[in-house]
Structure 1
Amino acid sequence: MDYTPPAALAASTLIVGLFFFTTQLALASRFLREHRTAACTTILLSCTLVACGVLFAARWFFAKYGLYAWQIQALVLVVLAMGWTAPDVASYVFPPVEDRFARELGGAGKCLQYSPYRLADSRTTFSGRDRSRMTIRPLQAGVQPLRLDNAVDEGIRHLEPADRASRKLMNIYGC
């Protein structure tokens, strides 16, 4: 029996979920907004390669083990899970700068958690090229501001001190 049609259906179903998932990642990373042609090419190429692989693997799998309803149900569940989790995965991998600050420096168990530089106890401004410098000014009088570079939304580079004074402050707090 020829299992090409159900294998093609399985591949096309999976490609819908993969397309949505990769598009969410490309949007969250600003790759799609800043490099539209390269992002679209990457998304379509990855979906095409995965679809070809799934087509051949599914055809072999169906020929060897047969075609059953549970296989299609499992595939649909995988595609639904990919679609459901795509925004959460994308925002975890490429978080807003405030979330990155909490993860790296100011969150639970981090070096600035109990300092005057907590985001709740300070005023934050952004400057620099592409608004990539974050300045945290504590609300307490007389406390020196902390300046951090690589502070862009959806960034993947670690926040780092922008100047010598900020490096000194971070060393004082054990960062």
Structure 2
Amino acid sequence: MRRLPPPRNDSGSADYTTPAVLAAGTLAVGLFFVTTHLALGSGLFREQRAMACAGILLSCTLLGSGVLLTARWAFAKWGLYIWQIPALAVSVLAMGWTAPDIAAYVFPRVEERFARELGDSGRCLHRSPYRLEESQTTFSGRDHRRMTITPLQDGVPPLRLDNALHGGLAHLEPADPASRQILDTYGC
């Protein structure tokens, strides 16, 4: 595609600072969407709002600075082209569009964590009465971090799991000896 003439500074030499600043600022906006969704998905924004805001601003600043230096160097070496504008716009749109999915993958809801760790195909509870589709799930305990899975079949004891927090990173663990025995029975 067509090469654009380089911007000039007051002395008339090529100065790529302005397009590099625009590229860095635009990509920082895209990163803002991703980091904000990560902070929301992890629960950090709910629990430590100041730390979440600081992390968002720090990551946007660091990435923006890195892109600024890299873009200024790349523009000086290879020049400005018209295709770089839509490529930058598509990159930011993709970051904003996929931000919720990235956050949901990194910090999944507790039902998704249960499926990944214990309930999906190939996992120990997949063909058991403790599958979420065949049971009732309730939450209790401090900050609702205990998940109780009560099978709909009569006579099957409930399974209690700790660390059942939306966006949590710690693995689900049995909350009592009876739950540990249930997991051992199914080879978990």
Asked if 1:12 is matched to 2:25, the reply is: yes
Candidates 93, 101, 105, aligned match of 2:114: 101
Asked if 1:82 is matched to 2:95, the reply is: yes
- Relative to the length of structure 1, the TM-score reads 0.96
How do residues 23-42 of structure 1 correspond to structure 2 at under 5 angstroms? 23-42=36-55
Equivalent-residue separation in structure 2 for 1:141 and 1:45 (angstroms): 53
What is the deviation of 1:155?
1.1
Ranges in structure 1 where 5+ consecutive residues have no aligned partner: none
How do residues 111-150 of structure 1 correspond to structure 2 at under 5 angstroms? 111-150=124-163
2:139 counterpart letter in structure 1:
F
The 4+ residue runs of structure 1 with deviation greater than 6 A are none
Q: How many residues align?
A: 175
Of 59-68 and 72-81, the range deviating more from structure 2? 72-81
What is the deviation of 1:96?
1.1
Query: Which SS does the other structure have where 1:109 is aligned?
Result: coil
The structure whose Rg is larger is 2
Query: Which SS does the other structure have where 2:164 is aligned?
Result: coil
Equivalent-residue separation in structure 2 for 1:75 and 1:152 (angstroms): 36
Query: Which SS does the other structure have where 2:83 is aligned?
Result: helix
1:117 counterpart letter in structure 2:
Y
Q: Could you say which residue in structure 2 is the equivalent of 1:3?
A: 16
Equivalent-residue separation in structure 2 for 1:46 and 1:115 (angstroms): 43
Asked if 1:171 is matched to 2:177, the reply is: no
- Relative to the length of structure 2, the TM-score reads 0.90
Ranges in structure 2 where 5+ consecutive residues have no aligned partner: 1-13
2:103 counterpart letter in structure 1:
A
Equivalent-residue separation in structure 1 for 2:136 and 2:117 (angstroms): 18
Query: Which SS does the other structure have where 1:10 is aligned?
Result: helix
What is the deviation of 1:71?
2.1
What is the deviation of 1:13?
0.7
Candidates 151, 159, 163, aligned match of 2:164: 151
Equivalent-residue separation in structure 2 for 1:55 and 1:43 (angstroms): 18
1:23 counterpart letter in structure 2:
T
Q: Could you say which residue in structure 1 is the equivalent of 2:175?
A: 162
What is the deviation of 1:72?
2.4
Would you tell me which structure has more helix in proportion to its own residues?
A: 1
Aligned identity (percent) is 68
Query: Which SS does the other structure have where 2:80 is aligned?
Result: coil
Q: Could you say which residue in structure 2 is the equivalent of 1:71?
A: 84
Equivalent-residue separation in structure 2 for 1:165 and 1:150 (angstroms): 17
What is the deviation of 1:18?
0.7
What is the deviation of 1:45?
1.3
